[in-house]
Structure 1
Amino acid sequence: MKEITPFTSFTPYSRQSISDEDKACVLEALSNPLITQGEINESFEKALANYAGTKHALSFNSATSALYALYASLRALDLGDLESFFYSLPSTDSNYKTKSIITTPITFSATANMMLACGFKPIFADVTFDGNLDPLKCEEILEEKKARGEDDVIAIMSVDYAGNSVDAEAFKTLAKKYDIKWLSDSSHALGASFKGSKVGSLAYASIFSFHALKSITTAEGGALLTNDSKLYEIAKLIRSHGMVKKELYHCDQVNLGFNFRLSEINAALGLSQLQRLDSFIDTRNELSNIYDAAFKDSSYFYPLKVKKEDDTRSSRHLYPILLDPKYHCAKESIVRRLLELNVGTQVHYKPLYNFSFFKDYKPKNEHGLLRNAEDFYRATLSLPLHCNLDKEDIGKIASIVIDVFDEI
């Protein structure tokens, strides 16, 4: 049997890239009189909005907080005012008719967790071959509900899996046809584009994550982007205790709210990182192309298909491979063997409805599962891809991966 040489040192599937300039910006922020609620955060928000091409960008201490604020604001708009939202949650008012949001099961749990926190019911629809929510399956659900006289669906929340935009045109058409909102959890996709437009500007409202492993990082953080000024103002209240500042020391609390703010220190890191975002995306695409070339003739698996038109670009947040069905049962052995060889991997994601917490939201079909989502989960495995790796590193990792499949 061929002896496989381990990778130089352990590399996880992803890792942040922090420069000396980033560190200098953080230290400078620490020297400012205000290290929260200052001008750096405002500059970061303006830069985000300018980059994505939206009217508003609102920063948060996590993408989870941003999701909560988005869903809460959406429900407040549905009810007519923010106060109604806080006093009509199912736990306090059983007369409120629960509304639903169609979403994907192939995502991190925060996407659906915050729906439930805001009183929405998640309805899971199946995915396409690239792991993204299937607009045709969403329409099937909407048509079935229409036939039954049900009008509880208020929105569709898609997820740009691995940094690849969903079919924005299809979801815009659905939203218009059924008079609902299209929301986008674009946590994977800052820096991506669809037919010439930046992800973040496509949907009614979009969410970005600045977690350590995303396109850029603020350590922890997130943002809500939208062109709807009313949604923005409601989310802004929710983000900061429901309080409105007035003249001098005067302020008023007009609603219940939370402290979901991003600090100046985190914003300084984000503002510095944002200047390198396009170079990060260039690097991720260059490294992904090396993987693509190395794996093009593999009989064991194939790389996730990514659209490569001139005006459509992936952020390449992840590099997933999809195993041939005959190797699904060997996936755990493959992961363990790669770990022994200093190659870290991850699986994105187990379908949410298979978690105990979401057992009551399993799809309403004979088997309580979605075929494509189940197949995708069994097949997918994310390989290391981050800006601390170079072309030679990717070549070595690719060789190790192929050798491990040969061995197993």
Structure 2
Amino acid sequence: MSGMKNAGVDPLDLVDPERYARRGYPHDAWTRLRADAPVAFFEPAGFEPFWAITKHADVMEIAKQPLRFSSASGISLRRAGARVIPTEMIVMLDPPRHGPMRRVANAGFTPRAVRERAADIDRIATDIVDGATAQGATELDFVERVAAPFPLAVIAWVLGVPRDEWTLLFRWTNEIIGKDDSEYRRPGESPGQTIKRARGEVHAYFRTLIAQRRAHPQDDLVSELARGKVDGEPLTDEQLVSYCELLVEAGNETTRNAVSGGLLAFSEHGEEWEKLRARPEVLPDAVEEILRWVSPISHFTRVATEDYELRGASIRAGDQVALYFASANRDEDVFDDPFAFRVDRRPNHHLAFGFGEHFCMGAHVARIELETVFRHLLERLEAFEVAGTVERLSSITNGSIKHLPLRWRTTSGS
């Protein structure tokens, strides 16, 4: 194994979920790696060895080569000895299987399809934000009242999940994404047991819902998926439930992280909130800056299928490679003053939605969701501040805030 040194970075800064929970993303470590070892090899105890890719250009170079760098072995850093479980989830499919599977649901996520849903997304945001700011409420947990229920309600409505069952999706998502966090595990369960049980419950739920939609189709995405075909053949139950699981997790968790992380950023950079209130026309740019700044997903992994040279480093076939999107989004060679949060930043070539074959299918929905919820917040909130301890998820993959206590002052008339 030949390549660069690792710039003196402690491997635990990259793989210890408790450090992520205490400190947030390891931006200091990533900054050192970008400067001194942008292709660095780590062998942390308890994890499979991996290459850390931290520069924007290098992340894109690997992400656009899915045949040389496979997703089939998983998309997050693997614990030592972890068994790779075959899955039909499209985020872990390589060409040529990935494209046809992705196209089954693509029509529901085009810009046109999303625009057609904009009024319903606005209605959901209105209900949730109005509920949070009603009756003069001045202190609340922003994640619990706004950031978590809003994207959950949107994706559940799109899928066709009955409203009284939305909380099930929320619990399962928390357990799957937060398997390393004791708040989301059941007493006595290991992370592996938690994710196995929660995924089993998700799959059982969607098998039932899919059977109902096959018998009685409705105007929802589960019905559309159930009608979908790949190479002229209907999707199997396993393919369908894997699709639904991915949509629930990605559609809920990443937008939730961006909403909560975005408002936290505004609480720390009050002048940018005032700028946005004075110039609401830059809200689309502000959304892109929130995505860059928060980077809801820290990394995805790939496995090299052949030997590959990158910046003088020799990546061997079978090596695990971590693409650090959150680091790429602070790359000094791409972003002017990358550690400044600026709502009117242009250009903003962030990689918050990934790049290449696996670019986020729901990017258009996420952008509309973020524009919508922050437009409502701009109309209602004059000022706000953190009113307690910000609690982050114990996860090396998801930049999730579990609890964000806020104290705020609403605008007159809201």
Higher Cα Rg, which structure:
1
After TM superposition, the score normalised by the length of structure 2 is 0.25
